[in-house]
Structure 1
């Protein structure tokens, strides 16, 4: 994603040397990139920091966690490096892009994708084991299943093969992606299988509210609300993230009435 057509073309030619890379799309600004990522769901994105309108960092803040591809920043300014890695960038390339450094980024991407496939394989094994007859619930499953709604100031979740205790106050928002949910707490995003209804029952309704069929927000993290079209609103969180407040949930949030 780059606002300079020549830069995009140069990167495309360099990437053509790698037979396992397929270029599925390109964009000249942040808004185009947002729609392209939502539609194409790429594994890897080369992203310019400075673009007209929405810059590279703004684009990452707009994207739901489940849609953010592995990201390599490409820019002419090295002073963005710290911010780039703070945004969990896979790598950072300076223009003009050096072939050896680009190859290094591609190798790093392959390794990261291979690790991700290993995690997916482990998750499939867990699902298969769960279907086997005759076994008792594991201690982990018992712990999760027996926790009552709003038990204390910490939320116990199973993130992959880990059991975590999350400080409820650190949760900014939760969004759903199919059969999975992403809990955005502090600087981390935790992914777990379940439904919004199940998680909603475990959260304090005085602090957490459903603002969309796939989104729950910590009301104490909301700093601003601004109107949008058709009776909808955007909520600005203390992290800078914007979330849409659906019209059908607007009247149910006492915090804003």
Structure 2
């Protein structure tokens, strides 16, 4: 879980990083900031999932930072402060937790566990949203296919997909612009979602967009972008009929 620390006390930052590295290797500290302005820039650039945020800093407070950040793409927030009188205001900002300095391992462990549970809930929600977004996509080639990722759902026009390639329970989605996306859904999910007859499963590991087919050979299809898709023996005649 990518983590950002915003605190104007270098010693506090160092100690928090040591504790995270020693006891919570599932968190990766991607950056630090010492004031509101720098913190906002780091959040927008690094897009952390978890934020350890001091309240009193030069140039503004942690609450000022939250107000300027808005609700879009806001990370989970754990306030870390030496004063307890801000607790009510912190939880009104939907903070995940509120830890008093000096940070102890028990309080930190509780905050990290809450962050992990919240991220699990978010990921489950994103998967459900993507599934709902994909319902009935098979009826229209212009429909958008929802692909869940770490920051939400990316919607891709079906016609921009050259092919889908199954790999170890995941799906690699190759796009016409030369990029690709990795989906946590298996390829069978996209067999149901992608529109027919434009898309066809040529092999248990490949779904191909007919509009991007360049050449058919004995055991594979050449596609735009230099890509190739396998053809299973039992599907060869079906593929020929599909392309005819």
> Please, what TM-score do these two structures have when normalized by structure 1?
0.51
| CA displacement 1:94-115 (0-9 Å, x = unmatched) | 0011101100100000000000
Query: Where does residue 125 of structure 1 map in the other structure?
Result: 131
- Runs of 5+ in structure 2 lacking a partner? 1-5, 141-152, 156-244
Choose from 52, 61, 80 the match for 1:55.
61
Q: Give, in whole Å, the separation in 1 of the partners of 2:136 and 2:121.
A: 23
Query: Where does residue 7 of structure 1 map in the other structure?
Result: 12
**1:178, CA displacement in angstroms?**
8.7
Q: Structure 1 stretch 101-110 or stretch 64-73: which is displaced more?
A: 64-73
Q: Structure 1 stretch 27-36 or stretch 123-132: which is displaced more?
A: 123-132
**Aligned pairs (5 A) from 1:5-44:** 5-16=10-21, 17-44=23-50
**Aligned pairs (5 A) from 1:138-153:** none
- What secondary structure is seen at the aligned counterpart in 1 of 2:56? coil
**1:128, CA displacement in angstroms?**
1.6
Q: Structure 1 stretch 59-68 or stretch 70-79: which is displaced more?
A: 59-68
* Alignment RMSD (CA, Å): 1.8
> Please, what TM-score do these two structures have when normalized by structure 2?
0.54
| CA displacement 1:105-164 (0-9 Å, x = unmatched) | 000000000000000000111122131439xxxxxxxxxxxxxxxxxxxxxxxxxxxxxx
- What secondary structure is seen at the aligned counterpart in 2 of 1:23? strand
**1:67, CA displacement in angstroms?**
2.7
- Runs of 5+ in structure 1 lacking a partner? 135-176, 180-257
Preserved CA contact (<8 Å) 1:27 1:33 = yes
Number of corresponding residues: 137
Q: Give, in whole Å, the separation in 1 of the partners of 2:43 and 2:77.
A: 12
Choose from 78, 90, 97 the match for 1:84.
90
Bigger share in strand: 2
Q: Give, in whole Å, the separation in 2 of the partners of 1:79 and 1:128.
A: 47
Query: Where does residue 106 of structure 2 map in the other structure?
Result: 100
**Aligned pairs (5 A) from 1:114-193:** 114-133=120-139
Preserved CA contact (<8 Å) 1:72 1:89 = yes
